[in-house]
Chain A
Amino acid sequence: EPEVTQTPSHQVTQMGQEVILRCVPISNHLYFYWYRQILGQKVEFLVSFYNNEISEKSEIFDDQFSVERPDGSNFTLKIRSTKLEDSAMYFCASKGTGGVKLFFGSGTQLSVL
Chain B
Amino acid sequence: EDQVTQSPEALRLQEGESSSLNCSYTVSGLRGLFWYRQDPGKGPEFLFTLYSAGEEKEKERLKATLTKKESFLHITAPKPEDSATYLCAVQLNTGNQFYFGTGTSLTVIP
- The interface of chain A, by Cβ under 8 A from chain B, is 4, 31, 33, 35, 41-45, 48, 50, 55-56, 58, 91, 93, 95, 100-107, 109
Query: When A41-B102, A42-B101 are in contact, do A106 and B46 touch as well, CB less than 8 Å?
Result: no
Closest-by-CB residue of B relative to A91 is: B43
B11 to chain A, nearest CB (A): 16
| CB nearest neighbor in B for A9 | B41
Specify which of A41, A45, A55, A107 is in contact with B98 (CB 8 Å cutoff): A45
What bracket does the count of chain B residues touching chain A fall in?
20 to 34
Measured between beta carbons, the chain B residues less than 8 angstroms from A50 are 96
| B49 interface residue (CB < 8 Å to A) | yes
Contact: B103 with A42, CB < 8 Å?
A: yes
Apart from A101-B46, A104-B43, what 20 extra A-B contacts exist at CB < 8 Å? A42-B101, A42-B103, A43-B44, A43-B100, A48-B95, A48-B96, A50-B96, A55-B96, A91-B43, A93-B43, A100-B91, A101-B49, A102-B46, A102-B98, A104-B44, A104-B45, A105-B43, A106-B42, A107-B43, A109-B41
A91 touches B97 (CB 8 A): no
Q: What chain B residues lie within 8 Å of A105 (beta carbons)?
A: 43
A107 close to B100 (CB less than 8 A)? no
Min distance, Cβ A54 to any Cβ of chain B, angstroms: 11
Q: A42-B101, A44-B100 are in contact. Are A56 and B41 (CB under 8 A)?
A: no
Write the nearest CB–CB distance from B63 to chain A, whole angstroms.
Answer: 18
CB < 8 Å: which of A4, A42, A55, A109 contacts B100?
A42
20 residue pairs bridging A and B, Cβ less than 8 Å apart: A41-B102, A42-B100, A42-B101, A42-B103, A43-B44, A43-B89, A48-B97, A50-B96, A56-B95, A58-B97, A91-B43, A95-B96, A100-B49, A102-B34, A102-B46, A103-B46, A104-B43, A104-B45, A106-B43, A107-B41
